[in-house]
Structure 1
Amino acid sequence: MKSALLTSLAAALLLGGAFPSSAAAQTGAAQTLVPFNDARLPFTLTLPRGWFGANFEDGSSGVSVVSAQKPPATLMRFLFVDKKGKAADLKTEFQNFEAGVKGSGGTLRLIAGKNSAYGGVRGVERMYALKHAQGELRIKVWFGNGAKNLYSFQVTDSPTRFAASDALFKRVLGSVRFR
């Protein structure tokens, strides 16, 4: 299912180059999470307190947050697209995602991948090293294949900060509940 979601993810990754790292206080294990419930979303979750909403004006549906208003900052995105009754193949979704990033001038290297489920929705997550004109980033992307929607949740940060950001991302993923 080729979609605007995949294109927006690729664009956000390269825009994410403006967010190369995070302040330790904003991504540590002690970070407080607060409930986020928007009736327009097919899920609820908790988000880090004090983070800022980000609008990439890319037509994607969901919520994007950054740990600071100006770089350096961690980027998290929780996006979805209606499958419109079509079957989604996650392998194909990742191929489209990777092609979109490469087409935008980035170079991806797969670091790890595994099957995983969040909030009762099965999916696949992959971690990448992303090289781009401004440097290098780490990104983890989870594609979830829900009954009505395809979900794409991601975290992007610098290699040096990624372990802390990923730990926080896992806490947020653990809070996701699909409607």
Structure 2
Amino acid sequence: MKAFLPISLGAALLGGALSGTAGAQTLVPFKDARLPFTVSLPKGWLGVKFDDGASGVSLVSSKQPPAAMIRLLFMPKNGKPADVNAEFRNFEAGVKQTGGTLTQLSSKAARYGGVGGTEREYSLTHPKGKLRLRIWFGNGARNLYSFQITDTPERYAASSALFSKVLASVRF
């Protein structure tokens, strides 16, 4: 199965601060007929297209650097089995190829919208700086899902809390 592309490091280092605290951030319902899920997204965040072949929705907190980035991606399994551990290995290898160094901070089983998977947190060091990220690979009936938040280490706790609210709103 074709692996998800690694995060866009340049995009993660692009835009600005979270609008308010995670607790105060308003979520708005988002529905697109091309997506196999509905979700509520942070109000005021900006949609972004990376032209990396990934299907889903990507957004950043600001046009100004550095921005928090959320990606909610999916890939049809086309009847083939999916292995989330293999997806993590491919993801980690892809980041390494960009010159980044990942340090895994945690790993746990996680379920969102009724779909089971694995969620990991990482610290990422790259020639352009440092980032923290949280990524969940979910193995659905028809699709493999990759949902992630990426932000600076200083803002990560607030952006991760906001991401938890986003994930709680996912419906497949």
TM-score over 0.5 (shorter chain): yes
Higher helix share: 1
Query: Helix, strand or coil: the match of 1:38?
Result: coil
Aligned to 2:49: 55
State the shift of 1:69 in Å: 1.4
Where does 1:1-179 land on structure 2 (aligned, <5 Å)?
1-3=1-3, 6-7=4-5, 10-12=6-8, 14-19=9-14, 22-178=16-172
Aligned equivalents of 1:27, 1:33: Cα separation in 2:
12
Q: Does structure 2 conserve the Cα–Cα contact (< 8 Å) formed by 1:123 and 1:145?
A: yes
State the shift of 1:121 in Å: 0.2
Higher relative contact order (CA 8 A, sep 6+): 1
State the shift of 1:18 in Å: 2.0
Q: Which runs of 5+ in 1 are unaligned?
A: none
From the superposition, tell whether residues 57 and 112 of structure 1 become closer, same or farther in structure 2 (CA, over 3 Å).
same
Q: Which amino acid aligns with 1:16?
A: A
From the superposition, tell whether residues 131 and 150 of structure 1 become closer, same or farther in structure 2 (CA, over 3 Å).
same
From the superposition, tell whether residues 17 and 66 of structure 1 become closer, same or farther in structure 2 (CA, over 3 Å).
closer
Aligned equivalents of 1:27, 1:75: Cα separation in 2:
15
Q: CA RMSD in A?
A: 1.3
From the superposition, tell whether residues 27 and 74 of structure 1 become closer, same or farther in structure 2 (CA, over 3 Å).
farther
Aligned equivalents of 1:177, 1:24: Cα separation in 2:
24
Aligned equivalents of 1:64, 1:11: Cα separation in 2:
11
Q: Does structure 2 conserve the Cα–Cα contact (< 8 Å) formed by 1:62 and 1:80?
A: yes
Q: Does structure 2 conserve the Cα–Cα contact (< 8 Å) formed by 1:119 and 1:176?
A: yes
What's the CA shift string for 1:30-86, capped at 9, x where partnerless? 100000000000000000001100101111100001010121211000000001100
Q: Does structure 2 conserve the Cα–Cα contact (< 8 Å) formed by 1:19 and 1:157?
A: no
Q: Which runs of 5+ in 2 are unaligned?
A: none
Q: Which amino acid aligns with 1:124?
A: T
Q: Does structure 2 conserve the Cα–Cα contact (< 8 Å) formed by 1:17 and 1:135?
A: no
Aligned equivalents of 1:158, 1:143: Cα separation in 2:
21
Q: Does structure 2 conserve the Cα–Cα contact (< 8 Å) formed by 1:144 and 1:150?
A: yes
Aligned equivalents of 2:90, 2:18: Cα separation in 1:
33
Q: Which amino acid aligns with 1:57?
A: D
TM-score by length of 2: 0.95
From the superposition, tell whether residues 159 and 45 of structure 1 become closer, same or farther in structure 2 (CA, over 3 Å).
same
Q: Does structure 1 conserve the Cα–Cα contact (< 8 Å) formed by 2:14 and 2:63?
A: no
